[in-house]
């Protein structure tokens, strides 16, 4: 898996472009900047964007190639981000509880086991009142991939999301937004055309 992503990111182009994901950008614009964690941040388009908006940014990915390109992008944009190469399974030994105002999962497609075993504790990393925001391909995206492989997305439907799955993964969070949407993506070489996504904002209640 890591090798596949290192190879994918070994080209000069940014696979998903250098601009942030549009939903991430829109949602972030409604929050007061604080500290944000971006798991599976890839080549850093979202982490670097957050830093340009005044956020303190922690990001990680399993890919060394991704980190190198993320740090180059940060330098070009004149910002600093703290980017570690770790596996998702190392998240809780890497970041202390109660550290973040927001955690953003943008196309963070993980195997079913990682989602089940590691996502439910993500709210522990948030401060009270903090948010998880997520955009990922929905399980219905498979039919869009069949029509247009250029839209991208994982080849295993178990790595995708549904509204029911989000409710199961984050039972303690207040749902601020949760919907499935057909959208048009134009993100670098990797996401082009019409696809189906789950979009989610969850808020950690005060006192939890």
Ligand X SMILES: C[S@@+](CC[C@H](N)C(=O)[O-])C[C@H]1O[C@@H](n2cnc3c(N)ncnc32)[C@H](O)[C@@H]1O
Q: Which residues of the shown chain bind ligand X in the complex (CB under 6 A)?
A: 1, 5, 16, 21, 40-42, 45-46, 61-63, 66, 87-88, 106-110, 114
Three-state DSSP state, 199: strand
Between residues 106 and 125, which has the closer beta carbon with respect to ligand X?
Answer: 106
Between residues 117 and 208, which has the closer beta carbon with respect to ligand X?
Answer: 117
Residue nearest to ligand X (CB): 42
Of 153, 88, 84, 155, give the one whose Cα is nearest residue 117.
Answer: 88
For residue 161, the minimal CB distance to ligand X (Å) is: 13
Between residues 40 and 201, which has the closer beta carbon with respect to ligand X?
Answer: 40
Lookup: tokens for 146: 């069949």
Between residues 23 and 170, which has the closer beta carbon with respect to ligand X?
Answer: 23
Three-state secondary structure string covering 21-51: CHHHHHHHCCCCCCEEEEECCCCCHHHHHHH
- Rounded CA-CA distance 167/122 in Å is 13
For residue 92, the minimal CB distance to ligand X (Å) is: 13
Distances (CA, A) of 133 to 51, 88, 116, 144: 17, 17, 17, 23
Between residues 5 and 95, which has the closer beta carbon with respect to ligand X?
Answer: 5
Between residues 3 and 164, which has the closer beta carbon with respect to ligand X?
Answer: 3
DSSP output for 126-179: EEEEEEEEEEEEBTTHHHHHHH-GGG---S-GGGSB-HHHHHHH-TTSEEEEEE
For residue 87, the minimal CB distance to ligand X (Å) is: 4
In sequence order, the β-bridge partners of residue 139 are none
For residue 169, the minimal CB distance to ligand X (Å) is: 16
For residue 205, the minimal CB distance to ligand X (Å) is: 27
For residue 170, the minimal CB distance to ligand X (Å) is: 18
Cα 198 from chain centre: 12
């Amino acid at each position: 898996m890591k090798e596949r992503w290192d190879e994918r990111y070994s080209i000069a182009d940014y696979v998903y472009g250098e601009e942030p994901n549009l939903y991430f950008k829109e949602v972030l614009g409604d929050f007061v900047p604080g500290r944000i964690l971006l798991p599976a941040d890839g080549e850093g388009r979202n982490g670097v964007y957050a830093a340009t908006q005044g956020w303190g940014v922690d990001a990680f990915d399993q890919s060394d190639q991704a980190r190198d390109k993320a740090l180059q992008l940060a330098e070009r944009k004149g910002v600093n981000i703290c980017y570690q190469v770790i596996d998702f399974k190392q998240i809780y030994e890497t970041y202390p509880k109660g550290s973040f105002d927001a955690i953003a999962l943008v196309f963070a497609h993980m195997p079913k086991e990682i989602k089940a075993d590691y996502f439910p504790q993500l709210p522990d990393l948030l401060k009270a009142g903090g948010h998880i925001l997520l955009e990922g391909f929905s399980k219905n995206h498979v039919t869009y991939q069949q029509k247009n492989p250029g839209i991208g997305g994982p080849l295993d439907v178990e790595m995708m999301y549904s509204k029911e799955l989000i409710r199961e993964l984050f039972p303690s969070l207040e749902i601020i937004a949760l919907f499935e949407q057909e959208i048009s993506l134009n993100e670098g070489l990797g996401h082009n055309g019409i696809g189906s996504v789950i979009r989610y904002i969850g808020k950690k209640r005060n006192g939890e």
